[in-house]
Amino acid sequence: MNSDPLRGFTPQIPQIFSQQWGQILGMLQPAAGAKAAASAAPLRFDPQKLLQLQQQYQCELTRLLSHSGEAAAEPLKDKRFAADSWRSQPGAALMAQVYLLNARTLQGMADALQADEKTCRRVRFAVEQWSAALAPSNSLAFNPEAQQKLLASQGASLAKGISNLLHDMRQGHLSMTDESRFEVGRNMATTEGAVVFENEFLQLIEYKPLTDEVFERPLLLVPPCINKYYILDLQPENSLIRHAIAQGQRTFVISWRNPDASLAEATWDDYIEKAVIKAIETVREIGGSEQINTLGFCVGGTMLATALSVLAARGESPAASATLLTTLLDFSDTGILDIFIDEPMVQFREWQMGRGGLLKGQELASTFSFLRPNELVWNYVVGNYLQGETPPPFDLLYWNSDATNLPGPFYAWYLRNLYLENKLVQPGALKVCGQALDLSQLDMPVYIYGSREDHIVPVDAAYASTQHVGGPRRFVMGASGHIAGVINPPAKKKRSHWIRDDDHYPERLGDWLAGAREYPGSWWDDWSEWLAQQGGSKVAAPQRYGRGAAFAEIEPAPGRYVRQKAAANG
């Protein structure tokens, strides 16, 4: 096969494709520069697919150019070109049609690549990023909708767009919502409670009961430390924390400190021993209970399972149950994030911050946003800057923009041992806090939830946890994605969830689904019923926070730590 994948192909289609392809390859090797990108061109492609792609492209381009009037009248299914102005101006409509054809052709070239799966996924990701960035809708010179607004407003939209741009440059991130409409403690994270313990890693919040009686075993929630805890307590109508309290659960949550230079050398072991295990011990002591119920969300679930495994290795069983929401224990399938993880990348991060430093919160936030570039980046560029609009208020997007730093050693260890080497599911392969870990020692009941459209923790990967824990399991699959699938209150009557009536957990999710039944609405009620079975007897609700002088109220919820901004720490 010809070693140059574009030879014999590029002369017959616009030269822009060879230029774009070289730049796309350069995106995959940012440290190498243009020269290395050019030398990376000898990737191999399926010649039959390229020939078919060439013929399709020439045929479609000829049709568009020779019947431009008819093409302009065709509906554009892409929502970026949904406004009437794109069809009312034939030149704009043709430009959009040609752009979409070019984008499909580049994606077809990526699909024709003959390489290992990881390389193919990286190329497809780079093509998606490049195509999204080059959309004519992103430029005032080519966007008729923005041009019409500019004329109708007599330039006011452009002035407002420039003001929005300067504002976002000052705050250090792209505005996805009207952030002036939200304030943590005023209309976000408002469930009544108090901070009853704090150290350099966390504040522990206890919530005021909403029932006369509570279950004797308290519930501890461990949110991801890469985000603020109030994803679990956005507003009263969609608060998982408030829902748990209303069900009679005496509820506690970890509110992570937003790391600054003082935590730049903190390790994974520090977070497990001094944060998660410390929180477990504190909740047991405050609740006067030998065992508690626990919940971990995303990375918080990984940390919770690690902490419980450390305690199991020490001969301790402080948890009566564990709930794992969209959690990775088995990192063999990490979805789209896998394209970023390989040995050179991990070595670079270890060199960069493995002994100290901070991974800035905005870097993490930008990475996650560009996983969905059209929905979470470019539409806001167009709306905020080209059209001078203020995005509507949306609590979830406010939370999403509230970035959190990570200690470098913590992050580098996490990448190496979990994402790259997948040691957590290998019995005895991983030592944390001086203990060799074995997830099969987790013999308490475990409730495992995965979201069907999750692009961060694929549902197959969430289901894989059923194969590694040692106790009774209950797996539930919900509709939607990583956040919307979890934050799905029953009152909304939205989405569905799937459950099996038996305790059969075959190796593969598809085999489990074959025996599962779909139920309308949220999974929260199923979880509440399951959790009630783990709660023990009912006791009178406590009349005050904490327990004695050792765990007295420090300050009202939501506390100081959740208000710390990553930019101020940077």
- Type of residue found at 72: A
Question: Hey, what are 193's tokens?
Answer: 């409670």
Strand partners, 474: 447
Question: Hey, what are 143's tokens?
Answer: 């966007």
CA gap 46, 34 in Å, rounded = 25
> Prior bond to 558 cis, omega within 30?
yes
Strand partners, 222: 296
Distances (CA, A) of 359 to 216, 226, 281, 399, 566: 40, 10, 29, 19, 10
CA gap 390, 376 in Å, rounded = 15
Q: What angle do CA 72, 76, 82 make, to 5 degrees?
A: 110
User: Catalytic residue numbers?
Assistant: 298
CA gap 403, 397 in Å, rounded = 11
CA gap 272, 288 in Å, rounded = 22
* Residue 530 near residue 249 (C-beta atoms within 8 A): no
* Residue 290 near residue 317 (C-beta atoms within 8 A): no
Stretch (H or E) spanning 20: helix 16-28
β-pairing verdict for 319-325 and 446-451: parallel
